[in-house]
Amino acid sequence: MTCRDFPQAPVQLFSSCPTSQGWLSINIATTPQQAGTSRSDPLGISTMKLFTGLILCSLVLGVHSQWMSFLGEAYEGAKDMWRAYSDMREANYKGADKYFHARGNYDAARRGPGGAWAAKVISDARENIQRFTDPLFKGTTSGQGQEDSRADQAANEWGRSGKDPNHFRPAGLPDKY
């Protein structure tokens, strides 16, 4: 069977057998010559295509703009998380890690849904990676790592929920942070 074996006009697709009046038993022009026009599609088909195209384009553009906003928020949120991590490394202050966890998540979540998503993904990934690397490089036992991870995740959630990260700020941490 080749392409030539298939009906050419769209209305022919719904026919079960040819009749003396064309492929359909009702009087519908199936070719430009029968319609008395040189258009390749009857007016209804092209109008329908136009409206369908306009609706699809508006949906795609609407979704596209929402995704672009979400991705922008996620990018800025990831930068907030990196800034909190860099500040934590620079401060090198004992007991301040929960504050920096909360602050990074707080700053990222304030960007919007994309930032909150980025904060959650980055925080979860960090804790999951730490679960494997801490026993190898720091020599911590599994109980110590799990307890610390739960406390970190609590600080992460605290910050993402919009609560003040200064709740975890240790006394004596320089004001720069």
| pLDDT tens, position by position, 94-145 | 999 999 999 999 999 999 999 999 999 999 999 888 888 877 777 666 566 7
pLDDT for the residue 14: 42
Cβ neighbours of residue 156 under 8 Å, at least 6 residues apart? 101, 102, 105, 119, 120, 123
| Residue-averaged pLDDT of the chain | 79
Are 107 and 99 in contact, with CB atoms under 8 Å apart?
Answer: no
Segment of 6-20, 52-66, 143-157 carrying the highest mean pLDDT: 143-157
Q: How far apart are CA 12 and CA 103, in angstroms?
A: 65
pLDDT tens figures, 47-71: 777 778 777 777 776 766 777 889 9
* pTM greater than 0.75: no
Are 123 and 151 in contact, with CB atoms under 8 Å apart?
Answer: no
Question: Could you tell me the pLDDT band of residue 26, with boundaries at 50, 70 and 90?
Answer: very low
Q: How far apart are CA 107 and CA 103, in angstroms?
A: 6
pLDDT for the residue 104: 97
